A = this chain, B = another copy of it.
Amino acid sequence: MVDLKQMERVGIQLVRPDGHLTETGRDVWERMPEDRKRAFYQWMVQVRLFDRRSVTLQRQGRIGTYAPMEGQEAAQVGSALALGKEDWIFPSYREHGVAMVAGMPLDRILLYWMGRVEGNRAPEGVRVLPPYVPIATQIPQAMGAAWAAKMKREPSVAVAYFGDGATSEGDFHEACNFAGVFRLPVVFFCQNNHYAISVPFSRQSAVPTVAERASAYAIRGIQVDGNDVLAVYTAMEEAVRRGKNGEGATLIEAVTYRRGAHTTADDATRYREDSEVREWTEEKDPIARYERLLMEEGLLTPDRARKWEQRCRETVEAAVKEAEAAPAPPPSHLFAHVYKDLPPELVRQRRQLTGGDETHA
């Protein structure tokens, strides 16, 4: 295994922005199965196309406000591919890539952004919680899920996904602290995309990295190049291994960038320089870099790339169709899952809503 300890705090990079492997990167690469190498690429492309399509759907008024994640594909795909079915994912609202890789059907993700609560529910066996909108609140919960796994002696980790802004919330602190004290198998995966809406990370934190905050909790802290899918995967794999081995929690900071606006309701030009966006888009793109590597390594050709893109587009289109065709539940669905059994006042309210039509939703 790669000795990540050495690389802590400096930011791990295995694939350079120009697509070349670092020395350690080469080691990792040699030992990596080919289908995994392909999977990185395939998922990243799929995620990006899904994301772009979603932005368009929002513009067309076919879904509601949407949180784009373009630019963060490596961080999401790389980390999610290191997880097993037994692991828990507590995502924020920007983790469509993670959710997809973990087995969340694309149409459900779309349903969520259509304002449909059914989009929150993962299929059986997919341990993805719904998006957590109130910042940082998922972090203590992931910690608790990890704690339960530890108590039940189940080899599984729980991962909390969150942004750089989330590290300012008390919930982040409390969760990290519990994780340290109880040595819990939890991974705190922070995508530092440099902004919390308009607020730059420098106004979020006086220390330059998220990773170094780990030292306040005696948990492992690692900073990785979040646009390097190989590095992210490797860091996550190690964190998962440590968690399952009883070595406790890891805080991973994946340094990345969201290319687009915070959400489709946001205007990022108000607070970001064009040049900055350009730099991240043109020089540090996670997919371009990896594509170059694959081509150089002979695992991808322009033709196969085009074909894959085509296939992804079809997958996404099918999902859009499915989501749009999903029959809307009746208004009484409001009452469907509030309690296991409805109290009398709620029965009355449901009747009021349905005008007496008591069919269950």
**A171/B174 in contact, CB under 8 A:** no
| A212 near B216: Cβ-Cβ < 8 Å | yes
| Residue interface mask A164-181, B partner, CB < 8 A = 1 | 000011111110010011
* B-contacting 9-mer, from A29-37, A203-211, A292-300: A203-211
Interchain CA distance A207-B169 in the complex, whole Å: 20
- Is B180 a contact partner of A169 (Cβ separation < 8 A)? no
Distance A106 CA – B174 CA, assembled complex (angstroms): 37
Complex alpha-carbon distance, A216 and B173, angstroms: 11
Q: Which of A192-246 contact B (CB under 8 A)?
A: 203-207, 212-213, 215-219
> Are A215 and B215 CB-contacts (below 8 A) given A173-B173, A180-B205, A204-B181?
yes
A190 to chain B: closest CB distance in Å? 13
- Which chain B positions have C-beta within 8 A of A218? 206-207
Q: With CB as the reference atom, state the residue of chain B lying closest to A203.
A: B181
- Interchain Cβ contacts under 8 Å between A and B, 21 examples: A168-B174, A168-B177, A169-B170, A169-B174, A170-B171, A170-B173, A177-B204, A180-B206, A180-B207, A181-B203, A181-B205, A181-B206, A183-B206, A206-B217, A206-B219, A207-B215, A207-B217, A212-B215, A212-B216, A215-B215, A216-B216
**Which of A169, A177, A183, A219 neighbours the largest number of chain B CB atoms within 10 Å of its CB?**
A177
Q: How many of these chains are in the complex? A: 2
Q: Is the CB of A170 within 8 A of B174?
A: yes
Chain B residues, Cβ within 8 Å of A180? 205-207
| B219 touching A216, Cβ below 8 Å | no
CA distance A180 to B172 in the complex (A): 17
A181 to B215, CA, bound (A): 19
Given contact pairs A168-B174, A206-B218, A206-B219, enumerate 9 new A-B contacts (beta carbons under 8 Å). A169-B170, A173-B173, A173-B174, A180-B206, A181-B204, A181-B205, A207-B216, A212-B215, A215-B215
B residues within 8 A CB of A207?
Answer: 180, 215-218
Give the residue of B168, B173, B177, B205 whose beta carbon is less than 8 angstroms from that of A206.
B177
Q: Please give the distance in Å from A168's CB to the nearest CB on chain B.
A: 6
Q: Report the nearest B residue to A214, measured CB to CB.
A: B216
Residues on B with beta carbons closer than 8 Å to the beta carbon of A206: 177, 180-181, 183, 217-219
Which residues of B have CB within 8 Å of A213? 216
A147 to chain B, nearest CB (A): 14
In whole angstroms, how far apart are the Cα atoms of A216 and B218 in the complex? 12
Q: Which residue of B lies closest to A168 (CB)?
A: B177
Q: A171, A173, A203, A218 — which one has the most chain B CB atoms within 10 A of its CB?
A: A173
CA distance A207 to B218 in the complex (A): 6
| A177 proximity list for chain B (CB < 8 A) | 168, 204-206
Please measure, in the bound complex, the distance between the C-alpha atom of A169 and the C-alpha atom of B173, giving whole angstroms.
8
